[in-house]
Amino acid sequence: MGILEVKDVGKRFGGLKALSDVNLSVAENTCHAIIGPNGAGKSTLLNCLVGKLIPDTGSVMFDGQSVLGRSPHEINQMGISRVFQTPEIFSDLSVMENMMIPLFARRDGAYRLHAYHSVLSEAELVTKAEQMLADVNMLDKRNMHTASMSRGDKRRLEMAMCLIQEPKLLLLDEPTAGMARADTNNTIDLLKQIKDSRNITIAIIEHDMHVVFSLADRITVLAQGTPLVEDVPEKIKGHPKVKEAYLGETAHA
């Protein structure tokens, strides 16, 4: 029994069947990649896991509990963090403040009125945030205003914000899109290290096959809203159906 169990999930948008009969089981402490053509329903599936969308049919169990019907913040409190396809960060806040908010959320739960504390008296959290920033190579930007950062930086920041929450399950929607090769490689290393050292389960959507094949323990290929195949990376690489629907001829991993 995996930490995340998706059973028979289906989702329609008007006449469009975005997802149908999706079954997925992610084992604890593994990295599970979801790939598939554009518009296959990958992001939709992710949205169903985090409470942004409610599936029409099926069930989603996380850590033995159903996530359906819970609001996004409750699901996050259960231990699921998500990185978005277009970075969602607090663009009026500094990098450091962006890091502090998830730390507070993790420590205090969904709501706690700390109206009289000073942020700066939380030395322990500050150290933690700095540590994390160092891990993603952003410590030098700690006081920067995030609105003026380049997009690659925003992505890394968002990832750091999610990681610092020490989630049980980390959902990544194309985390390296738009990242320079060097940073992509850093990210791969970072995720690998995290998975090993922190007991994290990762579900990742990615079109960069280099990333997918370096990280994934298992891969699900989604096409037109249904899983096409699910297997270990080696099998997927050569899979003819996958080649045709997704990888194409020139795909070099």
Partner 1 sequence: MFGLQKKDTNLLLIVIALTMLAPFILNPFPTDSGLAQFNAGYPDLMQRFVIFGIFAIGFNILFGLTGYLSFGHAAFLGVGSYSAVWMFKLLSMNILPAIILSVVIAGLFSLLIGWISLRRTGIYFSILTLAFAQMSFALAYSVLTPITNGETGLQITLDDPRILGISQTADGSIPVTNLFGMEMRATTDLALGAWSFTFSMGYYVCAVLMILAFYMSIRIFRSPFGMMLRAIKSNQTRMNYTGLNPKPYTLAAFVISGMYAGLAGGLMASMDPLAGAERMQWTASGEVVLMTILGGAGTLIGPVLGAGMIKYFENIFSKINDNVLHTWFSFMPDGLENLMVGILHPFVGKGWHLTLGIIFMLVVAFLPGGLVEGGQRIGRMFGRKKPTDDTSAKTEPAE
Partner 2 sequence: MNVRPDFSKNANHAETAPAFLSVWDMHSYYGESYIVQGISFNVHEGEILALLGRNGAGKTTTLRSIARLDDPQVNKGEIWLDHQPLHRMKSHQASVAGLGLVPEDRRIIPGLTVEENLQLAQITPPIGWSLERLYDLFPRLGERRKQEGVTLSGGEQQMLAIARALARDIKVLLLDEPYEGLAPVIVDEIEKTLRLIKEQGMTTILVEQNAVRALQLADRAVILDTGSIVFDGSAAEVLENEGLRAEYLAI
Ligand X SMILES: Nc1ncnc2c1ncn2[C@@H]1O[C@H](COP(=O)(O)OP(=O)(O)OP(=O)(O)O)[C@@H](O)[C@H]1O
Q: Given the rule CB under 8 A, which residues bind partner 1?
A: 50, 71-74, 76-77, 81-82, 84, 88-94, 97, 100-102, 104-106, 108-120, 122, 145, 161, 165
Number of residues that bind ligand X (CB under 6 A): 17
Q: The sheet that has 226-231: what strands, in order across it?
A: 80-83, 169-173, 201-205, 31-35, 218-223, 226-231
All residues at 6 or more sequence positions from 222 whose CB lies less than 8 Å from its CB, including other chains: 22, 34, 35, 36, 40, 41, 42, 45, 228
Confirm or reject binding of residue 198 to ligand X (CB under 6 A): no
Confirm or reject binding of residue 38 to partner 2 (CB under 8 A): yes
Select the binding partner of residue 247 from ligand X, Mg ion, partner 2, none (C-beta < 5 to 8 A, by kind).
partner 2
User: Which parts of 39-58 interact with Mg ion (CB under 5 A)?
Assistant: 43
Dig out the tokens for 96 from the structure: 């450091």
Select the residue interacting with ligand X from 118, 150, 197, 250 (CB under 6 A): 150
Q: Residue 69 and residue 67: Cα distance in Å, rounded?
A: 6
Q: Which of 91, 54, 84 is nearest to 69 (CA)?
A: 54
Q: Which of 211, 216, 214, 180 is nearest to 201 (CA)?
A: 216
Sketch the per residue contact string, 168 through 187, with partner 2: x for CB under 8 A, - otherwise: ------x--xxxxxxxxx--
Q: Are 81 and 167 in contact (CB under 8 A)?
A: yes
Based on C-alpha coordinates, what's the Rg of the chain? 18
Task: Supply the minimum distance, in Å, between the C-beta of residue 93 and partner 1.
Answer: 6
All residues at 6 or more sequence positions from 58 whose CB lies less than 8 Å from its CB, including other chains: 6, 7, 8, 9, 10, 21, 22
Select the residue interacting with ligand X from 22, 149, 157, 236 (CB under 6 A): 149
Select the binding partner of residue 105 from partner 2, partner 1, ligand X, none (C-beta < 5 to 8 A, by kind).
partner 1
Query: First vs last Cα of the chain: how many Å apart?
Result: 31
Sketch the per residue contact string, 69 through 108, with partner 2: x for CB under 8 A, - otherwise: ----------------xx----------------------
Site residues, Mg ion (CB under 5 A): 43
Site residues, partner 2 (CB under 8 A): 13, 16, 36-40, 42-44, 85-86, 148, 150-153, 174, 177-185, 207, 209, 245-251
Site residues, ligand X (CB under 6 A): 13, 16, 18, 36, 38-44, 148-152, 178
